[in-house]
């Protein structure tokens, strides 16, 4: 059975059909924000800074500690710029202290590449580091 609509009604029927389709279309599930960081192995990580060949050990519990390696311990607001399965970029602001933008690329759950830059206490900084899990905290 075929229903014919007059030319005047066709646009209205098309709009009504699209509206109905949007109501019954399945909802797209959204992954948790910064899930890649949650998938990193917890424990002691060594950060190897490329600029000066220095090393630093930090305890990683959630992976989010790697976002603010230059403003560690400060209360900062964060804005997620990019959130992909193996790469995240987060911009953050720490009132009275500075701000930064960090990109973390996961190679494995125990190895990441970190690029971070911003301002800390009025001075610019740029960090390029490799993070590697070396043991428990």
In the chain, domain spans: 35-135
* Mean pLDDT, the chain, whole residue set: 84
One CATH from 2.40.40, 2.60.40, 3.30.70, 2.40.310 for 35-135: 2.40.310
Token look-up 């590697």 returns 132
Residue 80, pLDDT score: 95
pLDDT at 6: 56
The mean pLDDT value for 109-132 works out to 96
Are the beta carbons of 71 and 94 closer than 8 angstroms?
A: yes
List helix spans (H) across 1-137.
Answer: 10-24, 35-38
For residue 21, the model assigns a pLDDT of: 43
Average pLDDT over residues 98-105: 97
- C-alpha distances (whole Å) from 109 to each of 35, 40, 45, 85 are 12, 4, 11, 12
Is residue 94 predicted with pLDDT exceeding 60?
A: yes
CA distances from 46 to 28, 43, 76, 109 (A): 38, 10, 23, 14
Q: What is the mean pLDDT of residues 75-102?
A: 95
CA atoms within a 13 Å half-sphere pointing along the CA-CB vector of 109: 10
């Amino acid at each position: 059975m075929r229903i014919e609509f007059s030319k005047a009604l066709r646009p209205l029927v098309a709009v009504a059909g699209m509206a109905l389709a949007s109501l019954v279309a399945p909802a797209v599930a959204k992954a948790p924000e910064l899930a890649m960081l949650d998938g990193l192995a917890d424990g002691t990580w060594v950060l190897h800074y490329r600029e000066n060949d220095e090393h630093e050990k930090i305890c990683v519990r959630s992976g989010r500690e790697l976002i603010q390696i230059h403003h560690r311990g400060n209360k900062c607001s964060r804005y997620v710029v990019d959130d992909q399965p193996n790469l995240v970029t987060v911009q953050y602001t720490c009132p009275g202290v500075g701000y930064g933008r960090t990109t973390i690329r996961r190679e494995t759950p125990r190895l990441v590449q970190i690029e971070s830059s911003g301002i800390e206490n009025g001075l610019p900084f740029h960090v390029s580091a490799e993070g590697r899990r070396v043991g428990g905290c």
